[in-house]
């Protein structure tokens, strides 16, 4: 099993690919793929090399508490809905998070590896849906690709047009997981307060929205940007674009408190995107949702792996 509760670990040799003189046009690969070493543990020298790659591509987020906003909806005497907001404290253990969102170049490796045909990566209940996860030319892949490939100029942009199931399958393939709401929020706020009371830090860089720190509607770009831009908006441990550029899939349902369970098929999304209009809706605390099978041009993901799941060499 990759990256699960049993001690799995570390990376393959694909991680070190960078732009080089020999291959100047090649896209940067931002992901590292974890190995299952339950049965066969690599040599320590190999593990050291691979660990270096993890530390280049992922950032450690220390353990701590987060205050998640619970969105409640109540009906008043005149039968009108009103919001109620409650903070729910949650303890998060330390974990590694991808420094950047998964890029088109990263996701291309997943497509090339034939993962859409690998039934082990997909829940049996959605096998029929997987056949419909095709690009503009009918090939398996993200919605806005053509012939199983992303546009060349967008290789280092976040992959979009993928549903929650595709994000989940990719995460499983690289031996990682999608972050939970608590993990995502901890990654965005850990450096401001241990308690993360919610009102202290709205954005990864501070309390006031700055158009030059994140790609949102107010930036006026109107599309995705490469995943390693907006350096000033990154967290101190180098996690880019938690705010803006694309919404990110979260591993957990989006529910309103007080509402019957399973009333909708929504999964939580976080962070806002290039087309998010209100800056109050792209804070570290704001929670929104989207249907699991939704494939939109402003929704991508990144992965995490709990520290406890990794072996040190």
Buried-exposed string 123-139: b where 16+ CB fall within 10 A, e elsewhere:
eeebeeebeebbbeeee
Please report, for residues 24, 26, 30, the alpha-carbon distance to residue 19 in angstroms, rounded to integers and kept in the order given: 6, 6, 11
Closer residue to another protein (CB): 1 or 75: 75
Query: What is the nearest approach in angstroms of another protein to the Cβ of residue 121?
Result: 26
From 150, 177, 174, select the one nearest 162 (Cα to Cα).
Answer: 150
Query: What is the nearest approach in angstroms of another protein to the Cβ of residue 276?
Result: 6
Query: What is the nearest approach in angstroms of another protein to the Cβ of residue 85?
Result: 10
Query: What is the nearest approach in angstroms of another protein to the Cβ of residue 86?
Result: 15
Closer residue to another protein (CB): 24 or 260: 260
Closer residue to another protein (CB): 176 or 294: 294
Query: What is the nearest approach in angstroms of another protein to the Cβ of residue 75?
Result: 5
From 263, 230, 267, select the one nearest 248 (Cα to Cα).
Answer: 267
Closer residue to another protein (CB): 226 or 289: 289
Query: What is the nearest approach in angstroms of another protein to the Cβ of residue 60?
Result: 30
Please report, for residues 21, 50, 221, 239, the alpha-carbon distance to residue 246 in angstroms, rounded to integers and kept in the order given: 31, 29, 13, 14
Closer residue to another protein (CB): 2 or 256: 256
User: Which parts of this chain interact with another protein (CB under 8 A)?
Assistant: 71, 73, 75, 79, 81, 83, 217-218, 254, 256, 259-260, 263-264, 266, 272-273, 275-278, 280-281, 286, 288-291, 294, 296, 298
Instruction: Determine phi and psi for 275, rounding to 5 degrees.
Output: -110, 15
59 in Cβ contact with 241 (< 8 Å): no
Structure-derived torsion over alpha carbons of residues 122, 90, 283, 72, reported in degrees to the nearest 10: 90
Closer residue to another protein (CB): 266 or 307: 266
């Amino acid at each position: 099993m990759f990256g699960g509760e049993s001690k799995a670990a570390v990376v393959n040799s694909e991680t070190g690919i960078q732009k080089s003189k020999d291959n100047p046009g090649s896209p940067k690969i931002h992901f590292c793929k974890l190995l299952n070493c339950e049965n066969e543990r690599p040599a320590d020298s190999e593990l050291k090399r691979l660990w270096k790659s993890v530390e280049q591509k992922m950032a450690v987020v220390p353990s701590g508490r987060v205050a998640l906003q619970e969105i409640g909806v109540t009906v008043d005497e005149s039968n009108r809905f009103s919001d109620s907001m409650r903070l729910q404290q949650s303890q998060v253990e330390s974990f590694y998070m991808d420094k950047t969102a998964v890029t088109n170049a990263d996701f291309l490796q997943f497509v090339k590896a034939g993962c859409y045909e690998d039934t082990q990566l997909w829940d049996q209940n959605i096998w029929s849906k997987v056949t419909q996860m095709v690009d503009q030319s009918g090939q398996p892949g993200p919605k806005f690709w053509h012939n199983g490939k992303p546009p060349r100029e967008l290789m280092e942009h976040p992959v979009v047009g993928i549903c929650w199931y595709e994000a989940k399958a990719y995460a499983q393939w690289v031996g990682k997981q999608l972050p939970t709401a608590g993990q995502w929020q901890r990654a965005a706020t850990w450096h401001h307060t241990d308690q993360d009371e919610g009102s202290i830090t709205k954005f990864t860089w501070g309390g006031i929205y700055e158009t030059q720190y994140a790609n949102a509607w107010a930036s006026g770009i109107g599309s995705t940007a490469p995943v390693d831009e907006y350096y000033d908006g990154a967290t101190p441990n180098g996690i880019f674009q938690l705010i803006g550029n694309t919404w990110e899939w979260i591993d957990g349902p989006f529910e309103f408190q007080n509402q019957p369970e399973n009333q909708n098929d929504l999964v939580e999304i976080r962070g806002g995107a290039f087309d998010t209009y209100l800056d109050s809706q792209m804070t570290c605390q704001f929670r929104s949702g989207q249907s699991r099978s939704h494939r939109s041009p402003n929704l991508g993901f990144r992965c995490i792996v709990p520290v406890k799941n990794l072996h040190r060499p």
